[in-house]
Structure 1
């Protein structure tokens, strides 16, 4: 019996075992498989299978975007960690002879947002869909975020643009209308600016922010609500943090945010996760606290260079992505756990040490950029 003779349900079950990085080859095999791979039932089954196999992380290095697989085997404090390159994420552009220059990368709900000089690109690597969005002017100094309106059952996705130099501070792009509109909302206070890129959670986006006034310089975080299309109030961390302190946000599953905190000049690394979070309120619980003194000599330097981390809740382990304490050209994953567990994994050379860094947990998305499910 040939594969083409098998029942649809059995073919769906077999193809759902194939890694995400091989799906392009599957879709090119025949029209029937291509159509099957984009049905809602298959996508949900395949994403579930992929998520259960291992965790995935998106990381920028050498001005390219890589998909990493992170897995743990063994028992508490006696396990092995595997971090492997699963593939390079490359935008296919039939209108340009060479690969376009990507200035910044953002991520939300399984979609990637590539910021270029005069346009942005939204890409669903899983479905292989790309949407090119023309700019009004340069995007070089702007901040971006992605989310969706939860009032709409189909989750209408949107892009927020925050201009740091333009007279129009806030614009939003709606995928459905395929157009930009100016938001008439109250801007951030003049003495506040956003640190790093946005973190997407349940359709909203969150940033670490800091006061510019030298006498305060206090850090907090703030939410943009894509349903109401407005900025929320200041949200507090479970610690006091100022200019030189390290504060990094990460996703913790699909419903929570984690925050990594290291006081400047101190060796303790602390991580909290949200017990409750929405655009206006937040509560926290401590997840892990580790004295880094026995492990890393240049502790302050390592965490200053970091732009992301990943948590494995079951193993009680944190993977912090940064640079080597003595060599800025080497990108390192620091695996830190309870009871003194520590390991370093060299991820390779990244010669552009001043490039925009991006590290985020990644789950394949069923979101269709160009059209909804039929």
Structure 2
């Protein structure tokens, strides 16, 4: 393991796929730093909870970068995040397969005017990926939410447009890329969390005919609001005991 100073560490969580109820959970760490103030270097390491140990992941090209600003989600044991493919000239969906310990690239939906689109990603019911994007190069006032097919062993990802939401009825985000959201695919609504240009945090429930403002608070810190999910098989939340009559 390298002992070089790594000021930026980014982590992704996943597990080895198994029919057993006991999974081998792993953490991918991508450390990045400048070497001699000239060359940007990436180190890739794997931590296994079963052995409580780190090891270097060899043979990985710098093309598979994971930056400290990237939002990473976990689904079906693998990690997913969006990445700018400089060779292809557009954004792609990157995945790390924790079973095979390899990186895989998938297409994202609607790559027209890609450089001017801000993207965010979420997981739906442990079955689908959801992508939210809108064009920041014009004064368009809508965002699009896309839903993937069920993520499985097919190694293919396809997309369908799930919802188009207008910005007319809620505050425009200060930094659209920092938006967080959840998708309720059964009721076809999106719960989104944004910070507006006046440093106020908002939570909205939006749909085709629904724009509901449910939360607002002033916040002058640089800690952005976000939604967090957890892995049910790893972290159990105890239920409250019923009061005795």
Which interval holds the TM-score relative to the shorter structure? 0.7 to 0.9
CA apart distance, 1:162: 0.6
Gaps of 5+ in 1: 1-134, 370-374
Which of 77, 81, 88 aligns to 1:203? It is 77
Question: Corresponding residue for 1:318?
Answer: 190
SS in structure 2 at match of 1:205: strand
SS in structure 2 at match of 1:277: coil
Give the 5 Å matches for 1:156-195.
Answer: 156-165=24-33, 169-189=43-63, 194=67
Gaps of 5+ in 2: 35-40, 237-245
CA 1:260/1:220 → structure 2, altered by over 3 Å: closer, same or farther? same
- 1:185 and 1:230 in contact (8 A); partners too: no
TM superposition score normalised by structure 2: 0.79
CA apart distance, 1:217: 4.8
TM superposition score normalised by structure 1: 0.53
SS in structure 2 at match of 1:188: coil
CA apart distance, 1:189: 1.7
Q: 2-side partners of 1:218 and 1:322: how far apart?
A: 25
**Count of residues in Structure 1 that have an aligned counterpart in Structure 2:** 223
SS in structure 1 at match of 2:174: helix
CA 1:278/1:209 → structure 2, altered by over 3 Å: closer, same or farther? farther
CA 1:202/1:352 → structure 2, altered by over 3 Å: closer, same or farther? same
User: Alpha carbon RMSD of aligned pairs, Å?
Assistant: 2.9
Which of 206, 209, 228 aligns to 1:336? It is 206
Higher helix share: 1
Question: Corresponding residue for 2:149?
Answer: 275
Q: Does 1:148 align with 2:25?
A: no
CA apart distance, 1:137: 7.2
Q: What's the CA shift string for 1:231-250, capped at 9, x where partnerless?
A: 11x21112115333111110
Q: 2-side partners of 1:137 and 1:349: how far apart?
A: 40
Q: 1-side partners of 2:226 and 2:173: how far apart?
A: 19
Q: What's the CA shift string for 1:208-265, capped at 9, x where partnerless?
A: 101357xx75211100000011111x21112115333111110111111111111112
SS in structure 2 at match of 1:197: coil
Q: 1-side partners of 2:5 and 2:193: how far apart?
A: 30
Which of 140, 165, 176 aligns to 1:303? It is 176
CA apart distance, 1:344: 2.0
Flag the structure with more relative contact order, 1 or 2, with Cα contacts below 8 A and sequence separation at least 6. 1
Q: 2-side partners of 1:356 and 1:142: how far apart?
A: 19
Question: Corresponding residue for 2:164?
Answer: 289
Give the 5 Å matches for 1:1-374.
Answer: 140-151=7-18, 153=20, 154-165=22-33, 169-189=43-63, 194=67, 196-212=70-86, 217-232=89-104, 234-240=105-111, 242-264=114-136, 265=138, 266-278=140-152, 280-292=155-167, 294-296=168-170, 299=172, 301=174, 303-306=176-179, 308-324=180-196, 326-328=197-199, 330-339=200-209, 341-353=210-222, 355=223, 358-362=226-230, 365-367=232-234
CA apart distance, 1:361: 3.5
- 1:251 and 1:258 in contact (8 A); partners too: yes
SS in structure 2 at match of 1:243: helix
Q: 2-side partners of 1:141 and 1:159: how far apart?
A: 16
CA apart distance, 1:169: 1.2
CA apart distance, 1:187: 2.2
Q: What's the CA shift string for 1:141-180, capped at 9, x where partnerless?
A: 1110110001472111011001112866110000011100
